[in-house]
Amino acid sequence: MKKTSTRLADGRELLYYDSRHDSVRDAVDRRPPGPVATGSEIRRDPLLGDRVVIASHRQSRTYHPPADACPLCPSRDGRLSEIPAADYDVVVFENRFPSLAGGTGRCEVVCFTSDHHTSFADLGEDRAALVLDVWTDRTAELAARPEAEQVFCFENRGAEIGVTLGHPHGQIYAFPFVTPRTALMLSSAAEHRAATGRNLFDDLVARELADGSRVVLTGREWVAFVPYAAHWPYEVHLYPRRRVPDLRGLDDAARAEFPRVYLELLRRFDRIFGRDEPPTPYVSAWHQAPLRAEGRDRFGLHLELFTIRRSSGKLKFLAGAESGMSVFINDVPPEAAAQRLREAASA
């Protein structure tokens, strides 16, 4: 992998990640420099103890542009975009409309491919491996920032999820605090260790493998299963068999197998509702250990992949119990979801 760092006209950082070491990235952003909105604020809820990001500048962000005006496509044919080059492998740049900015963290956009009319599931294994290298590199660099407490790599796909740009891309947040979901995981893991002397993440994976009814697929290095208490209609958790706290800890064997396993999961998600359905909307989220939390080495890196589509033409909305009380009600039994995903395996 070759990494080339440059700056956009407004001063934001942009990085090209290429699979070829002889790639030359010298294109200059020829757009006039414009203002970058950085007025986010973090407020703490005194009742719940969690944090809310106030980012009113995001109201003016780009919203469902036509394909010929996509800001994530390369700059070519006389049209200038966020990416000065006429083509690219993978690109990372500072978000023009960041949720976290101005000393409150950092938000980056990750473009997986220059091809607007594709998706992550359509990438080849070499490109998926490059994206994994990019996630790892960005985790390492963002972890070195003094304000960073947790690095979160994720992808939202589909208008139903809330995606406003159709180009295949994800994001990376460097949070200046430990997120509520992760704090709960750490608390549960600490309670389990105090009660049993064992690691919760290890025991969780072992239980799913022993039961088998919710396992979706397995490899030599990775295990994918629908969790026992799945929140979403179709939800899969992907764990490396050798527990590591974050992406930087994956060994060569796990890194080599990941593209095949992950691409297969994404392709199964696109098949479970039938060929006549539009591509399945989903969230794909890496859960990594907080950077300075006590016992971070006992955390288990894993990826959570889920969709809000519960059946053909029907979405799972967060209504009263979920939105008001954080009590999820799942219409699809996890064992049935796992069976459906096993049946959707590639031929």
Compute CA distances 300 → 159, 205, 211, 344, whole Å: 31, 10, 20, 27
- Which residue blocks in the chain are alpha helix, DSSP H? 125-143, 180-196, 200-211, 252-271, 325, 334-343
Look at strands 234-240 and 302-307 and give their pairing: antiparallel
The number of helices, as runs of H, and strands, as runs of E, in the chain is: 6, 15
Active-site option among 167, 169, 192, 287: 169
Q: Which two tokens stand for residue 34?
A: 């414009």
Geometric angle at alpha carbon 148, from 145 and 153, rounded to 5°: 105
- Measured over the CA atoms of residue 264, residue 269, residue 270 and residue 273, the dihedral's sign is positive
Q: Is 169 a catalytic residue?
A: yes
Extract the tokens encoding 238.
Answer: 């992907």
Residue 300's contacts (CB-CB under 8 Å, 6 or more residues apart) are 199, 200, 201, 202, 204, 205, 239, 243, 244, 245
Letter for the amino acid at 140? A
Q: b vs e for 102-125, b when ≥16 Cβ sit within 10 Å of the residue's Cβ?
A: eebbbbbbbbbbbebeebbbbbee
Give me the torsion for CA of 339, 282, 201, 231, rounded to 10°.
Answer: -70
Which residue is it, tokens 């493998």?
A: 209
Q: Report how far residue 116's alpha carbon sits from residue 191's, in angstroms, rounded to the nearest whole number.
A: 46
The conformation of residue 23, written as its DSSP 8-state character, comes to -
Structure token pair of residue 201: 């993440």
Active-site residue numbers? Answer: 169
